[in-house]
Amino acid sequence: MKISFARPALPGTGTLVVGFTTRRAPTGLLAAVDDSTRGFVLRTAADAGFDGKRGETLDLVLPADAGADRLVLVGLGEPSELDPLACRKLGGVAVASLEATGTREAVFAVDPLDGSSLRSVEIAAEIAYGARLRAYRFDRYRTRARPDDRPAVLSLLVQVADLPGAEEAFRPLSAVADGVFLARDLVNEPANVLTPKAFVERVRSLDALGLEVQALDQAELERIGAGALLAVGRGSAVPPQLLVLSWRGASDPKAAPVALVGKGITFDTGGISVKPAKGMWDMRGDMAGAAAVIGTMASLAGRRARVNAVGSSPLPRTCCRAARSGPGTWCARFPAGRSRSSTPMPRAGWCWPTPWPMPSTGSGPGRWSTSRP
């Protein structure tokens, strides 16, 4: 979703979103719309029993010449209790309400709020941040919409009096959202697409943010004696990798860094000790720890954080034989180029048809491996 900022003005057409509370008289654009409709907004809100509790919404179709076609009131709650997290949630609530009505573009007007410790620019930036997080979708492999799918909100224009201040406040939050989306994308990828090598190749593009990206392949892991990591991935036809990201943003580039470590098993069958079918689908997400580390490092670099940090993620794949289709993998099928994800077979702990005996190179219960610090 595209986020942009502008100074307050009635849109004329389309959907306008405003914060609402009965704790104060309406101001700004809300007052303008209510005046142009001869009190229709406040009267309808009262008739509906809408008192502006935080997170509640009221969707109104406005009369002609009201300054907008639709008005979405978002409850602010008690202004003195409004903090950054609450503002983010309000942005998410607004997007959910817009999706429910099929709205593709909207304007969110942020008026000064008496009684709140937050400035208008902070409220606007946090609302925009929450809206962007809520609008995330992973549709890379979807070939057609389902009947119950709601259209995505494509753009949100946030109106606030201090335009430069709001844009400045939103910039680091947008960088954090980019990191969150990167982590979500990685977790959502099918295991047969996001192999250890593919994981590394995708992360290499982060050097454009100023991150130092280093990856150790199987030969380098053997050279440094990473026996435990090699043992985990030995049964797979896909060799493991060790990914290391570095960010030096502190005033002293040689200062001790913050260290982040995330588990990055791109798919976990349980090896020889095969896991049951229930939950096997989710094993493609066994690399979520690594995704969180990568997303965090990208956010630090994107917002130019004044800290030194190192993120490390081991990336093996555990299975008992060559790379085959498994639960949660993606495949294209005919007709019409449709795609789908595979699921475990009924009453089968493992849907990969692997002949026995297992390869002698695999590691398993009772196997010994060498690992050096």
Q: The domain spanning residue 157 has which CATH number?
A: 3.40.220.10
What is the rounded CA–CA span in Å between residue 4 and residue 16?
A: 14
Same-domain status, 156 and 243: no
Same-domain status, 132 and 253: no
- CATH for 273: 3.40.630.10
pTM (2 decimals)?
A: 0.84
Domain count, the chain: 2
Tell me the residue type at 65.
D
Domain assignment present for 360? no
Q: How far is CA 99 from CA 1, 149, 260, in A?
A: 12, 10, 36
Same-domain status, 148 and 208: no
User: DSSP class of residue 194?
Assistant: S
Residue among 134, 64, 141 at smallest CA distance from 98? 134
Same-domain status, 119 and 253: no
Q: Is 60 left (phi over 0), alpha (psi -120 to 50) or beta?
A: beta
What is the rounded CA–CA span in Å between residue 235 and residue 271?
A: 8
From first to last of its 373 residues, the chain has per-residue pLDDT tens of 999 999 999 999 999 999 998 767 788 899 999 999 999 999 999 999 998 999 999 999 999 888 899 999 999 999 889 999 999 999 999 999 999 989 999 999 998 888 889 999 999 999 999 999 999 999 888 888 777 778 889 999 999 999 999 999 999 999 999 999 999 999 999 888 899 999 999 999 999 999 999 999 999 999 999 888 888 888 788 889 999 999 999 999 999 999 999 999 888 876 555 666 666 777 778 899 999 999 999 999 999 999 999 999 999 988 765 545 556 665 555 444 455 555 544 333 333 333 334 444 444 443 444 555 5
Half-sphere exposure of 345 (CA within 13 A, CB side): 8
Burial pattern 159-185, b for ≥16 Cβ within 10 A else e, equals bbebbebbbebbebbbbbbbbbbbbbb
Same-domain status, 142 and 211: no
Same-domain status, 232 and 107: no
Is the CB of residue 145 less than 8 Å from the CB of residue 54?
no
Same-domain status, 128 and 21: yes
Domain that holds residue 70: 2-168
Q: What is the DSSP string of 25-72?
A: ---HHHHHHHHHTTTHHHHHHHHTT----TT-EEEEEPPTTSSSSEEE
Phi, psi angle pair for 65, to nearest 5°: 65, 30
Same-domain status, 234 and 295: yes
Is the CB of residue 85 less than 8 Å from the CB of residue 123?
no
Domain assignment present for 186? no
Same-domain status, 202 and 130: no
